[in-house]
Amino acid sequence: MKKLVKLDGDAIYGLCENFFDEIGRKWTVIAINDEQNERTNLMTASWVQTGILWNKPVCTLYIREQRHSFSLAEREEKFALMFFDEKYKNELVYFGTKSGKDEDKLASAGMTPCTLDGVGAVCEANIVFVLKKLYCDYLKEDAFCDKAPLSNYESKDFHKFYICEIESVYKAE
């Protein structure tokens, strides 16, 4: 199996991946420690941004309240965002359709758990961002300048967004 290797401080600026493709087409997986169940929970996410804020490399995640990952993200200070090869698409569909409330998705998928800087992740990932929460809030109905995206919220279940610092980056060798 490939090995995840930690990149040097500024190496994130040298990443050549097309993150529009990685996030929008290949999707990402958020891994968060589930202390109560003594496992790492995995949730597929494709509404994600990466960029720079407050002069830091950041990632913004959007998590609906009904997800098991939501209660975990509220509790934990740090978590991981992972990028995978297309060959894991079936696993990503599974992580995006079943809830960690009911099962250990990582174990059921037969993937290999690892810990990176104290945060749970999966050895099969191509890239792992170790994230630290900086700022969180709910999207608010009256703040939408264009009302069209409100069609995603018929039940008014607005996402909470988590702006996170990318503290470290691991890449498969």
Does 60 participate in binding ligand FMN (rule CB under 6 A)?
no
E-strand ranges in the chain read 4-6, 28-34, 39-45, 48-53, 56-63, 78-83, 113-116, 119-122, 127-138, 160-172
Phi-psi region of 160 (alpha: psi -120 to 50; beta: other; left: phi over 0): beta
What is the footprint of ligand FMN within residues 16-55 (CB under 6 A)? 27, 41, 43-47
Nearer to ligand FMN, 8 or 102 (CB): 102
Q: Do the Cβ atoms of 81 and 129 come closer than 8 Å?
A: yes
Q: Tokens in use for 124? A: 């099969």
- 99 or 126: whose CB is closer to ligand FMN? 99
Task: Work out which of 15, 37, 56, 64 binds ligand FMN, going by CB under 6 A.
Answer: 64
Is residue 5 within 8 A of residue 168, CB to CB? The reply is no
Identify the residue among 7, 19, 74, 96 touching ligand FMN (CB under 6 A): 96
- Nearer to ligand FMN among residue 3 and residue 66 (C-beta): 66
CB of 63 to ligand FMN, least distance (A): 4
x/- string (CB under 6 A) for ligand FMN, residues 75-94? ------------------x-
User: Which of 100, 106, 124, 130 forms a contact with ligand FMN (CB under 6 A)?
Assistant: 100
Query: Mind spelling out the 3-state secondary structure of 57-86?
Result: EEEEEEECCCCHHHHHHHHCCEEEEEECCH
Nearer to ligand FMN, 8 or 154 (CB): 154
